[in-house]
């Protein structure tokens, strides 16, 4: 069976319901909101690549997806987001306390699933999981801290998105490789692959917000600009801008800005275009992608074994052939 089909079936078969219902129903609801299940797929593909089976690593795949959904649940609460994947978020459908407690329980359930693994590497797997979890939380905190800071550098921004987004992809891959007893140096390489694919993926998300195709994207462009989000694009623009351009950009990126939405987006895009920000961002994406690609290439396995992960990475970045 293909990994995607295996993962789909796995989550259809995994119930999160228990007593008290008021604790577990929001968990079941969250786990049912269908996402791409990207992280379980990465984990399973990494394991299979090194000779493991999807069945053997299934508990780890459930654990990593449960953790990921826990982060979405608590992030949505902190961001006061009303919708997730088109459905009401838990704190809206129930209430904030339910969101706090059900999220906490999901974190413990992730651990419970992990402990069902049969592996000689369990200690390393658990350590990787914990380091991943704490990394994601540190990333989320840096993201919140950056909202009120006006001196965020590009290296700081890249480190923030690495923690917030990339380490979970890298951690999923590493756990899959550990489950399949991959050699230590290949585990390092697959982790590196995940890290840089994750950074490239987030940078592309930043880029698409400004230059994406609304039809393909399924959402309007310019939302980051309207939210004054200091993504790679405005940070790069501030770096390259003349004093006058920087002053103009800073004025637009404040809550006091009185421009209409369309006007605000248009002015920022105009500035980006003057400074060639699209190309700079694409260069950084390409740079991150090639570091990731090199890391994957250097893994001691024949190319055909690595094809699935390579395709998955290309798919993530819209580079399918």
Report how far residue 229's alpha carbon sits from residue 253's, in angstroms, rounded to the nearest whole number: 8
By the criterion CB under 8 A, which residues form the site for a copy of itself? Answer: 19-20, 22-23, 74, 77-78, 97, 100-101, 103-105, 107-109, 111-112, 115, 122-123, 126-127, 130, 133-134, 137-138, 140-142, 144-145
Q: Whose Cβ is closer to a copy of itself: residue 185's or residue 227's?
A: 227
Lookup: tokens for 28? 């079941």
Tell me the two tokens of residue 234: 């405005």
- Kindly state the smallest distance separating residue 107's Cβ from a copy of itself, in Å: 6
Nearer to a copy of itself, 3 or 102 (CB): 102
Minimum distance from residue 200 beta carbon to a copy of itself (Å): 24
- Kindly state the smallest distance separating residue 14's Cβ from a copy of itself, in Å: 16
Count other C-beta atoms under 10 Å from residue 191's C-beta: 21
Nearer to a copy of itself, 4 or 126 (CB): 126
**Residue 244 burial (C-beta neighbours within 10 Å; 0-12, 13-18, 19+):** exposed
Q: Min. distance of Cβ 180 from a copy of itself in angstroms?
A: 20
Q: Where are the beta strands (DSSP E) in the chain?
A: 83-84, 87-88
Nearer to a copy of itself (CB atom), residue 142 or residue 191: 142
Least separation in angstroms between CB 102 and a copy of itself: 8
Q: Least separation, in Å, of the C-beta of 112 and a copy of itself?
A: 5
- Peptide bond before 20: cis, by omega within 30 degrees of 0? yes
Q: 106: which residues sit within 8 A by CB, 6+ positions away?
A: 27, 30, 66, 67, 69, 70, 73
Q: In a 3-state reduction of DSSP, which class is residue 1? A: coil
User: Which C-beta is closer to a copy of itself: that of 148 or that of 216?
Assistant: 148
For a copy of itself, which is the closer residue by CB, 110 or 200? 110
Minimum CB distance to a copy of itself, residue 188 (Å): 20
DSSP state of 84: E
- DSSP state for residue 276 in the 8-state scheme: T
Residues of 166-186 as b/e, b for ≥16 C-beta within 10 angstroms? bbbbbbbbbbbbbbbebeeeb
Q: Judged by CB, which is closer to a copy of itself: 140, or 314? A: 140
């Amino acid at each position: 069976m293909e990994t995607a089909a295996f993962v789909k079936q796995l989550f259809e078969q995994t119930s999160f319901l228990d007593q008290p219902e008021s604790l577990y129903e929001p968990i079941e609801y969250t786990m049912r909101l269908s996402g791409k299940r990207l992280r379980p797929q990465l984990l399973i593909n990494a394991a299979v690549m090194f000779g493991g089976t999807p069945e053997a690593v299934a508990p780890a795949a459930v654990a990593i997806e449960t953790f990921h959904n826990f982060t979405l649940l608590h992030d949505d609460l902190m961001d006061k987001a009303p919708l997730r994947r088109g459905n009401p978020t838990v704190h809206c459908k129930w209430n904030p306390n339910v969101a706090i407690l059900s999220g906490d329980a999901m974190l413990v359930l992730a651990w419970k699933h992990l402990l069902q693994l049969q592996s000689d590497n369990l200690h390393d797997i658990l350590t990787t999981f914990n380091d991943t979890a704490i990394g994601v939380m540190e990333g989320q905190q840096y993201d919140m801290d950056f909202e009120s800071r006006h001196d965020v550098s590009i290296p700081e921004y890249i480190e923030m998105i690495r923690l917030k987004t990339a380490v979970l992809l890298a951690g999923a891959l590493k756990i899959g490789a550990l489950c399949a007893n991959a050699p230590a140096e290949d585990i390092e390489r697959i982790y590196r692959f995940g890290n840089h694919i994750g950074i490239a993926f987030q940078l592309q998300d930043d880029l698409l917000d400004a230059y994406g195709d609304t039809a393909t994207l399924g959402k309007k462009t310019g939302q980051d600009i309207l939210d004054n989000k200091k993504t790679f694009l405005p940070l790069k623009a501030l770096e390259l801008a003349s004093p006058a351009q920087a002053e103009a950009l800073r004025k637009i990126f404040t809550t006091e800005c009185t421009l209409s939405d369309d006007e605000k987006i248009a002015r920022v895009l105009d500035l980006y275009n003057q400074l060639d920000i699209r190309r700079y961002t694409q260069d950084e994406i390409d740079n991150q992608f090639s570091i990731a690609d090199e890391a994957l290439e250097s893994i001691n396995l024949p190319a055909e074994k690595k094809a699935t992960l390579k395709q998955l990475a290309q798919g993530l970045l819209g580079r399918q052939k």
